Amino acid sequence: MSDNTLPTPDEVRAEIKANVRDPELMMNIVDLGLIYDIEVNSERHADITMTLTSPGCPAGPEIINNVQRTTHNAFPNLDEVNVHLVWTPFWNPEMMSDDAKDELGIF
């Protein structure tokens, strides 16, 4: 990727999927359904809207930091990476990918 080419939201999502895991479940946060939206704008900013499995998630700060660090490291041409933590919609197991549900034994 050249310095002038910005990543697509799908490229950012793929990087997060490959590199950011929930440290308690040892599963990537994309398959867990924690990433709601990714936008990359012409001002070289990435805005990532995500949630956690619960408001009191002890791994929350670590996960958010890993999302920011992973995105910055993978796409140094981004000037800013903003992670927006939201609680609506509230996360539930139905948001997980089929692979994640299989791995955790949720049918």
pLDDT tens, position by position, for the chain (107 residues)? 456 789 999 999 999 999 999 999 999 999 999 999 999 999 999 999 999 999 999 999 999 999 999 999 999 999 999 999 999 999 999 999 999 999 988 87
d(CA 47, CA 44): 10
* pTM of the predicted structure, to 2 decimals: 0.92
In the chain, domain spans:
9-92
Task: Identify the bridge partners of residue 50 per DSSP, sorted by sequence position.
Answer: 35, 85
Architecture of domain 9-92: 2-Layer Sandwich (3.30)
Q: 14: burial class by Cβ within 10 Å (0-12, 13-18, 19+)?
A: middle
Q: How far apart are the first and last CA of the chain?
A: 40
Which residues, in sequence order, are CB contacts of 76 under 8 Å at separation 6+? none
